[in-house]
Chains A and B, each alone.
Chain A
Amino acid sequence: MKIASFKRVVLILSLVLMVSVVVAGCTNNSKEAEGTDSKLEGIISIVGSTSVTPLAEELGQEFSNKNPEIKVDVQGVGSTAGIKAIIDETADVGISSRDLKDEEKESKIKEHIIAYDGIVVVVHPENSVEDLDMDTINKIFTGEIKNWKEVGGEDEEILIVSREEGSGTRGAFEEILELDSVREDALIAEGNGAVKANIASKKNSIGYISLSYLDDSIIGLKIDGIEGTVENIKSGKYKVSRPFLMLTNGEEGPLVKEFLDFVLSEEGQKIVGEKQITVK
């Protein structure tokens, strides 16, 4: 008897499960059908550079406010990972803070420049050095200059904070400053935030971050007498800048197209203009 009732329970349970799956499937389908008819809905997944992430999140937020049915999911994992995700088609949009390398360029990948960003060389607030030229910065990061007193600071060893191999910010920084490679014994911090935290807590440190991460806990150096600000980068006076890219693979879907249109629209570029440099 017990077994019989047990069997019956199992039978009923599995029936319920089946029915619910079928029903759920149906409702989902019908919703999607409605969606494509009238309004766009769904999730756009954006993956890539940690430098572009704050901007992409802000753009996504505003875009979702305008289109409540569309969610924008942003993951900051690094430029190379973002480019890889687009090649593998595991994300809808890839974000990169460096140009694509030759081996990454595939015929189907489209690059959309959505903004320009500055890279700021930063030091601890108590550091007395305010201005360096490109050549000196190069020498500091390659290890030719090792003490702050050589560049007008206190008699203290220079501690270099760099980014991990493969980081878009590091790639762009090395390229613009024509550095072969940052000093080997540099402290490696993972991400812009970690660089900032390290510099803010170490008096003799120097590092580089994306302009959008600059705040009061650290000081951005002038380069060749020019401060790294939105205006100076826009006018081309501040040299250490790079493009922010959004990448797509093949023909964009309606969702992604709508999003990219928004990013490049006047409204989207206004958000870009708050911390980065607009395209137009």
Chain B
Amino acid sequence: MKKSNWQEKLNEKLYLISALISIALILSITLFIFIKGVPAIKEIGIKNFVLGTKWKAGDGQYGILPMIVGSIYVTIGACLVGVPIGLFTAIYLSEMANKKTADFLRKVVELLAGIPSVVFGFFGLVSIVPLIDKFFGGGGNSLFASSIILGIMILPTIISISEASIRAVPKEYREGSLALGSTHIDSTFKVILPSAKSGILASIVLALGRAIGETMAVILVSGNTPLIPHSIFDRVRTLTSNIAIEMGYAYGLHQGALFATGVILFVFIMIINGVFLVFNRKAGELNDR
């Protein structure tokens, strides 16, 4: 008995240490970004930094409003493209498709999730960008192109989480609805989807996080112009690409400003994660009922 007790304790400590390592990592990353970024924000001035519309590192102008707006637009665009497709796919998979088709489609979606982002970006650069250039002009590297690529990239997140939450809706709901005489489509949209609402919203919020954090694919198709876009065919630069493009070259205040960009991005991600937690908790309550 004594010996197994000792072993158990050792085991427990091992898991504790592993857990602490990840916590320590996230804390040190956060600390690092803030230590590097906050002095730069102070030097530039928070107002000039967040609301400044000119980013010209050479002239010492560090305004990241165009990038903030760019990131938000690109993320919204990705949702406009990805959410309807993803949600309908999830409904099809959980409600309509027979088992064989559903299994096959699920595998394909998993495959989509496994494709590296640079491949998505390259695909966009050689296929979508020239198409946009041909039909709408302006070069093709644009907010529109980024939205399409990101919309495709967030599909797996939306599909898998939404499908799971639709499946979690108790069978009795549908049976009751059908028994009352409503059609299949009616019970799907008026009974099942409202019941799975929290899970679906959680999937969208998670997808938002993925879209706002994506870097490589966006760099290749967005055109990276640090100006506020006025049409969906304008070039944009996102917060993440601003960091990635210039970090290799930056030093001094310029480098600090890039870390400060990271701080702003961090705040965005925290907000999104907070919202996700709220929805997730609601979804959990629903499933417990």
Q: Which one of B251, B252, B254 has the highest number of Cβ atoms from chain A below 10 Å of its Cβ?
A: B251
With A187-B139, A187-B141, A201-B129 already in contact, the answer to whether A165 and B249 are too (CB < 8 A) is: yes
Q: Are A84 and B224 in contact (CB under 8 A)?
A: no
Residue of A nearest to B139 (CB): A159
Interface string of A185-207 (1 = CB under 8 A from B): 11111100010011001101100
| Least distance between B51 CB and chain A CB atoms (Å) | 18
B139 contacts which chain A residues (CB < 8 A)?
Answer: 159, 187, 198, 202, 204-205
Stretch at the interface among B28-36, B54-62, B147-155: B54-62
A188 to B237 CA separation, bound complex (whole angstroms)? 9
Q: Are A84 and B251 in contact (CB under 8 A)?
A: yes
Q: Are A164 and B133 in contact (CB under 8 A)?
A: no
**Would you list which residues of chain B between 213 and 235 have a CB under 8 Å from chain A?**
219-220, 223-227, 235
| Least distance between A186 CB and chain B CB atoms (Å) | 6
Q: Are B235 and A80 in contact (CB under 8 A)?
A: no
**Would you list which residues of chain B between 233 and 284 have a CB under 8 Å from chain A?**
235, 237, 245-246, 248-252, 254
Q: Are B58 and A165 in contact (CB under 8 A)?
A: yes
A190 contacts which chain B residues (CB < 8 A)?
Answer: 219, 224, 245
Q: Are A184 and B249 in contact (CB under 8 A)?
A: no
Q: Are B125 and A197 in contact (CB under 8 A)?
A: yes
A164 to B7 CA separation, bound complex (whole angstroms)? 57
Q: Are B7 and A3 in contact (CB under 8 A)?
A: yes
With A164-B224, A165-B58, A201-B130 already in contact, the answer to whether A77 and B235 are too (CB < 8 A) is: no
Residue of B nearest to A189 (CB): B224
Query: How many residues does chain A have at the interface if contact means C-beta atoms less than 8 Å apart?
Result: 29
Q: A78 at the A/B interface (Cβ < 8 Å)? A: yes
B133 contacts which chain A residues (CB < 8 A)?
Answer: 201-202
Q: A177 at the A/B interface (Cβ < 8 Å)? A: no
Residue of A nearest to B255 (CB): A84
Contacting residue for A164 out of B140, B227, B249, CB 8 A: B249
Q: A181 at the A/B interface (Cβ < 8 Å)? A: yes
Q: Are B224 and A184 in contact (CB under 8 A)?
A: no
Q: Are A184 and B227 in contact (CB under 8 A)?
A: yes
B235 contacts which chain A residues (CB < 8 A)?
Answer: 185, 187
Q: Are A188 and B223 in contact (CB under 8 A)?
A: yes
B59 contacts which chain A residues (CB < 8 A)?
Answer: 181
| Least distance between A195 CB and chain B CB atoms (Å) | 12
Q: A113 at the A/B interface (Cβ < 8 Å)? A: no
A277 to B126 CA separation, bound complex (whole angstroms)? 33
A7 to B237 CA separation, bound complex (whole angstroms)? 58
With A80-B249, A187-B235 already in contact, the answer to whether A166 and B57 are too (CB < 8 A) is: yes
Q: Are B58 and A186 in contact (CB under 8 A)?
A: no
**Would you list which residues of chain A between 60 and 83 have a CB under 8 Å from chain B?**
77-81
Residue of A nearest to B6 (CB): A3
| Least distance between A153 CB and chain B CB atoms (Å) | 16
Contacting residue for A181 out of B56, B125, B140, B250, CB 8 A: B56
A185 contacts which chain B residues (CB < 8 A)?
Answer: 225, 227, 235
A204 contacts which chain B residues (CB < 8 A)?
Answer: 139
20 pairs of residues in contact across A and B, judged by CB atoms under 8 Å = A3-B3, A3-B7, A77-B248, A79-B249, A80-B248, A80-B250, A80-B251, A157-B137, A165-B57, A165-B246, A166-B57, A184-B227, A185-B227, A186-B225, A187-B225, A188-B223, A188-B237, A190-B245, A198-B141, A204-B139
Interface residues of B (CB under 8 A from A): 3, 7, 56-59, 125-126, 129-130, 133, 137-141, 219-220, 223-227, 235, 237, 245-246, 248-252, 254
Task: Contacts A157-B137, A159-B139 known; list 14 others, CB within 8 Å.
Answer: A3-B7, A77-B248, A78-B248, A81-B249, A84-B251, A103-B252, A164-B224, A166-B250, A166-B254, A181-B59, A184-B226, A190-B245, A197-B125, A201-B125
